[in-house]
Chains A and B, each alone.
Chain A
Amino acid sequence: MTTYELMSQLNIEETNTHQIIDKQQLNPQVKMIKVHAPEIADKAKAGQFVILRVDEEGERIPLTLVAWENQTGTITLIFQEVGLSTKKLGCLQARDEIVNVAGPLGRASTIKNYGLAAIVCGGVGTAAAYPIAKALKEAGNTVVSILGARNESLLILKEEMSLVSDELYIATDDGSKGHKGFVSDVLRCLISKNYQFDIVYAIGPPLMMKATSEVTRPFGIKTMASLNPIMVDGMGMCGACRVSIGGATKFACIDGPEFDAHKTDFEELIRRLRIYPQEERLALDFHEKATGGICKCRQ
């Protein structure tokens, strides 16, 4: 029975809370939560995201759907604690509730049997890459994954990615694991070794996606990037997430979040991600000093 049938039969006035079922720390900055959201779990597809609001004063922030289970009615989200909202989210524990989770949003990835697929991902972008790698694998592709991070301790989802990949490569900036250097270097190396990729997915920090798209451009390999601009409503209403794709303005929330990487203006994306640094600082300071800490509930 769907929630709305339940609502109408039980006379529930509204639905809007989502309990955290499980929480894990993946590395010092990155956390993973499983959230009760049966309707979203029922509809989610690879490449889609949710918008959530941690509490009644909260921002609406987009997070990629990493995994979903129909049987338990849960969705899995992974986030890096960078600003106030993700820090607030990180303060919540299992059994706490998130006031709003809206989704699934965005267009799903186009999943089909392309042949040989490369998943090039970096940092917390690996979380967004995982469901796409999994879906591509299930669709019959040969999946080659290249995971990157600044150092070994920041790598996430290594085991999960290896389970959905035919080959898995690792690159770290400091060489503490795998290749010393960038994921795009590894991709270039594989291409030079005659890997004939039919599709490449680049998911991670904008500079990494840009570098990856420059590697594939001379070979004309179809390359998709999953963009992560600032969003507010996430449903096409505000245009905060506008990006330039082949010279045309698109909204990442409804036209994307996936776009042809070769047509994407990454420089503009990077500039637009840097609109609010002072405000982000101010919000953190306000909560740490003026209100006595971000994690109010635990004190």
Chain B
Amino acid sequence: MQTIMKPPSERNSAQSAAVPMRKIDPQNRAHTFNEVALGYTEEEALREARRCLSCPQPRCVEGCPVGVDIPAFIRLIKDGKYDASIRKVKEKNSLPAVCGRVCPQEQQCQNHCVRGRKGDPVSIGRLERFVADIEREKGIVTPPMTKPTGRRVAIVGAGPAGLTAAADLAKLGHRVIVFEALHLAGGVLVYGIPEFRLPKKIVQTEVDYVKKLGVRFHYDSLIGRLFTIEELLKEGFDAVFIGSGAGLPLFLGIPGENLGGIYSANEFLIRVNMMKSYRFPEFDTPIKIGEHVAVIGGGNVAIDSARSALRLGAKEVCIIYRRSREEIPARAEELQNAEEEGVDCRFLAAPTRFIGDEQGKVTGVELAAMELGEPDASGRRRPVPIKGSEFILNVDTAIVAIGRTPNPIIQSETQGLKTTAKGTIIAEQETGRTSIDGVYTGGDILTGEATVISAMGAGKRAARAMHEYLLSKDQAKTLPLSS
């Protein structure tokens, strides 16, 4: 039986405080992969919805990368019309149960909320999750189908960008096939974000919704190797969307990094989430977790790795970040969750080398203390190592979570596709149009590593541009409509 944390008492009746969301308490949640945040009850949702001022010129919508009509869907919650509310959300967002959980709303819609000037902004994300969860429990409703256009679209990658583009194009009547390199759809939602933050059955329901729109999925298909972009265009697709993501892990490039027991965060999370190592040996993929775990990096991926390590049975988990608490890029809410569960943080420290035993397994990491110097190109103060400050932290597992770079295969196998020195694809920001006619892109492969919702926004903009492109294509040149 899980105990539920009681929400802190309401601060005042002036509605300056948001209705908090209940969570499993830290002692109980730190050892299971069950979802931590429990969502609003109907009463809580209504109370929170009533805080929305229904601004005539809503600024929150400006902060939403996919342009959800926020006041309208919240208004429908106030009226108890939950079915209509989720339909309103889904006009713009095909993955609301996911976004309600993992979007950084505090930097987006909620950052613009008028209520935020004096007190807490309206908890838009929690309300979005509320209506999405109600719909899921009742069974997802498929919107009426549009008349088929006879155009065919290939989507490369079933992550947030690809799924969004696929859903939008299918709704517009195009025939869409998604080519996914892995054996599951969802991209980072299935291989990266852990179960306790985003249960995989929720991702599956969202993917099923996209399937209900008529989208087909072709798994195990690494585009660039199995088919090239050129072949897709030649063999019957009128347009292609590349949403292959930023899936390549970066390493530190310091001595000892290839010792056993050192994982990239990607490998660690792929094993745990996608391959379900947390249920080994019931599932076949193993994970090796020691008693003392160091996680290098300060982003959300580092936090996810640390919290996963704790749940797998590590005694001590320490996040090592080279700047101070103020600069940490992870969401404050997630860092707080991790610390509540018992994750330690060591700020202003950076690894200089790993130390191993004769069997080639990691036994320690040497860290240098850092101090903050002048701001660098990113505007954050540059960490500078303090000479002679090196010390050794004993660890038997280390997880390197310092970022990901674009998947390189499509770029190297597609002639005429222009890319940047960083390996991202060059395209028009507003449309995702690349240097090849009929080929569009969006998500991390366009911008470098970013958020789920910004990838979805890019998928959405590209879908709009692709729709125009598809309709403008000379009818005579295309294949007849197949039944």
Please list the residues of chain A having a beta carbon within 8 angstroms of any beta carbon in chain B. 2-5, 7-9, 11-16, 39-40, 43, 53, 57-60, 84-85, 88, 99-105, 232-233, 235-240, 242-244, 249, 254, 268, 271-272, 274-276, 279-280, 282-283, 286-287
Q: Given A237-B191, A282-B281, A283-B284, A105 and B219 touching (CB < 8 A)?
A: no
Stretch at the interface among B101-109, B139-147, B262-270, B311-319: B262-270
Give CA–CA (A188, B181) in the complex, Å: 43
B329 CB-CB contact with A under 8 Å = no
The residue that A60 contacts in the complex, of B154, B175, B275, with Cβ under 8 A, is: B275
Residues of A within 8 A of B407 (CB): 235-237
Residues of B within 8 A of A7 (CB): 177, 216, 218
* A40 close to B235 (CB less than 8 A): no
Q: Given A7-B218, A8-B216, A12-B216, A237 and B257 touching (CB < 8 A)?
A: no
Give CA–CA (A55, B455) in the complex, Å: 32
Q: Given A105-B222, A272-B360, A85 and B236 touching (CB < 8 A)?
A: no
B43 CB-CB contact with A under 8 Å = no
Give CA–CA (A82, B480) in the complex, Å: 52
* B260 close to A274 (CB less than 8 A): yes
Give CA–CA (A287, B281) in the complex, Å: 8
The residue that B286 contacts in the complex, of A53, A272, A276, with Cβ under 8 A, is: A276
Residues of B within 8 A of A244 (CB): 258
Q: Which of A11, A102, A238, A244 is the most central at the interface, judged by chain B CB atoms within 10 Å of its CB?
A: A238
Per DSSP, chain A at the interface is: mixed
The residue that A254 contacts in the complex, of B175, B270, B408, with Cβ under 8 A, is: B408
Q: In whole Å, how far is A215's beta carbon from the nearest beta carbon of chain B?
A: 25
* B216 close to A283 (CB less than 8 A): no
By beta carbon, the residue of chain A nearest B192 is A237
Give CA–CA (A237, B360) in the complex, Å: 23
Residues of B within 8 A of A39 (CB): 221, 226-227
Q: In whole Å, how far is A254's beta carbon from the nearest beta carbon of chain B?
A: 7
Residues of B within 8 A of A2 (CB): 235
Q: In whole Å, how far is B475's beta carbon from the nearest beta carbon of chain A?
A: 19
By beta carbon, the residue of chain A nearest B286 is A279
The residue that B251 contacts in the complex, of A4, A53, A101, A239, with Cβ under 8 A, is: A239
* B183 close to A53 (CB less than 8 A): yes
Q: Given A238-B249, A239-B249, A280-B286, A286 and B225 touching (CB < 8 A)?
A: no
* B360 close to A8 (CB less than 8 A): no
Q: Which of B148-186 contact A (CB under 8 A)?
A: 152, 154, 175, 177, 179, 181-183
Give CA–CA (A244, B362) in the complex, Å: 17
Residues of A within 8 A of B408 (CB): 236, 254
* A237 close to B219 (CB less than 8 A): no
Residues of A within 8 A of B263 (CB): 239-240
The residue that A102 contacts in the complex, of B181, B260, B361, with Cβ under 8 A, is: B181
* A103 close to B226 (CB less than 8 A): yes
Q: Given A15-B218, A58-B284, A238-B270, A274 and B409 touching (CB < 8 A)?
A: no
B321 CB-CB contact with A under 8 Å = no
* B359 close to A271 (CB less than 8 A): yes
The residue that A238 contacts in the complex, of B218, B259, B267, with Cβ under 8 A, is: B267
